[in-house]
Amino acid sequence: MASSVISPAPTSSFINNKKDLGSFCFSSTSQFSVNKCKKLAVSKKIVSVMAPQQSERRPATTGSVKNAMTLTEKIFSRASEKPQLSPGDNVWVNVDILMTHDVCGPGSFGIFKKEFGENAKVWDREKIVIIPDHYIFTSDERANRNVDILRDFCMEQNIKYFYDIKDLGNFKANPDYKGVCHIALAQEGHCRPGEVLLGTDSHTCTAGAFGQFATGIGNTDAGFVLGTGKVLLKVPPTLRFVLDGEMPDYLLAKDLILQIIGEISVAGATYKSMEFVGTTVERLSMEERMTLCNMVVEAGGKNGVVPADGTTFKYLEDKTSLPYEPVYSDEKAR
């Protein structure tokens, strides 16, 4: 068979000037180190054909077989209660948080009631976060009706985390109003390392900055989650971006993700997990990490994720009292 050998990615940084920013990535199917992730040419000419060598079959050791897994794979493994997962596996995942807002909430509630019954109760009223943030400051009665539907549903289901707005004339008079849903999730302590957070908004991937799996889903899936707390997901392969070096003062996290998308293209991470690591990422604030993860969907990514560290834990100190357990990619994960 045709063959091509690609050396493993080096562990040391290839940045010569600390003011320069470089990156390399690995996928779940191959590992490579290239400046700015350029594709390597691989010959397709068949050189020889030979039967695969049969290695000696050794007795299995006690306990389950453990292979290295990425951060996202570990979160899926825990949430699906399976000891080992690989990219492409389809698994039922237990959801920790479901977020919906005034755009998709009414549709999701409609599907929930259609499939589970008019008098059905949600799977967990404390794991559902509902945030009106799109149609609130408008005189359009039909748009306002969306918020009314959210309010009615939350009262009916006794939803604990409904960030309502009642006084449209003075938003400061609304102590429960929290603003944009992605920011509210973080500021109100709904983002925690190692968990699964889903939302009916494509930019739910923002929450991956907290070392959790976060992605957007449609109304149909949201309706099913409302009733069961589960969703069927395919384990995504991982692209790991190592960003090392000191950020110049004139660059922002938005520039980093735009540069990455420009290099891999708007389809370069289709249904993949984009994991961001390196000294540059470690120096970013939580808000900057959220910006980095927010735009992975613009590259087709399933989710973006930054491993939790001291910055994460410090941010969460006064945000949540719930226990959480961060996970990290194994050193030999691919």
Angle at 235 between CA 301 and CA 69, to 5 degrees: 105
Collapsed DSSP state (helix, strand, coil) of residue 243: strand
Phi–psi pair at 230, nearest 5 degrees: -130, 160
Report d(CA 266, CA 299) in Å as an integer: 4
Mean pLDDT of all residues in 276-297: 98
Angle at 297 between CA 138 and CA 196, to 5 degrees: 90
Q: pLDDT for 166-221, tens place per residue?
A: 765 665 556 677 889 999 999 999 999 999 999 999 999 999 999 999 999 999 99
Give me the domains of the chain, ranges plus CATH numbers: 71-317 (3.30.499.10)
Report d(CA 266, CA 23) in Å as an integer: 17
Secondary element (H or E) of residue 90: strand 90-94
Q: pLDDT for 134-148, tens place per residue?
A: 888 777 777 788 988
Report CA 74 to chain centroid distance, whole Å. 13
What is the DSSP code string of 12-58?
A: S---SSTTS-EEE-B-SS-B---GGGPPPP---------PPP-PPPP
Identify any residues that bridge with 233 across adjacent strands, giving them in sequence order.
Answer: 91
Give yes or no for residue 116 having a pLDDT over 80. yes
